[in-house]
A and B are shown apart, each in its own frame.
Chain A
Amino acid sequence: GQNIDQPTEMTATEGAIVQINCTYQTSGFNGLFWYQQHAGEAPTFLSYNVLDGLEEKGRFSSFLSRSKGYSYLLLKELQMKDSASYLCASRDSNYQLIWGAGTKLIIKP
């Protein structure tokens, strides 16, 4: 079957680093995406990984291990505005996205 798991909620401190994990089981895996969604707003694209390894984009990095069915999103130098839900989604061979339930990240001063 198809399944995505990520923690429901995480708390971190402003200025610190946090890693949000995502595990997936996807038939015909064809890429892993991370989106950010602030409360009451639309999700916005953060990153895309299709090959193993780390993709860095400023304070945000995303990692993929296809053999382990595992990805993480790393957020550095946390800011209060990073408080949001982070959605992990895998894409299958039909180009359909399977979404995790999202990880609510709470940043404390």
Chain B
Amino acid sequence: KAGVTQTPRYLIKTRGQQVTLSCSPISGHRSVSWYQQTPGQGLQFLFEYFSETQRNKGNFPGRFSGRQFSNSRSEMNVSTLELGDSALYLCASTRTGLTGELFFGEGSRLTVL
């Protein structure tokens, strides 16, 4: 079966702009979670969606938002970009979110200039 698909894979933005990233989970998976990965920081949890509802949220400012559609596809948006938002943004899906095995996408690498 197809894996988790994230688009775009790479993007460059300037400070103050906004960006929308997309994630298509594995077919049948209803939980989608988002992570920010930066060198030396590990994965930082952004939020998790299950059946179109945000179930958990990490400690990120309100500039970071997300949503999930009825087909389980998810988007995350970052507004008013800052230099520190440069990172790899990873999406992961599971069937219910209550098991441990996350299936990750390849990520969207965002560079903010």
Contact = CB atoms under 8 A, between A and B. Distances in A.
B107 interface: yes
Contacts of A70: none
B56 A94 contact: yes
Nearest to A32: B100
Interface size class of A (residues with CB under 8 A): 20 to 34
Contact of A44 (B42, B48, B97, B104): B104
Interface in B31-84: 35, 40-45, 48, 56
Interface residues of B, number: 21
A35, A42, A96 — most chain B CB neighbours (10 Å): A42
Contacts of A41: 106
Contact of B107 (A42, A99, A100, A101): A42
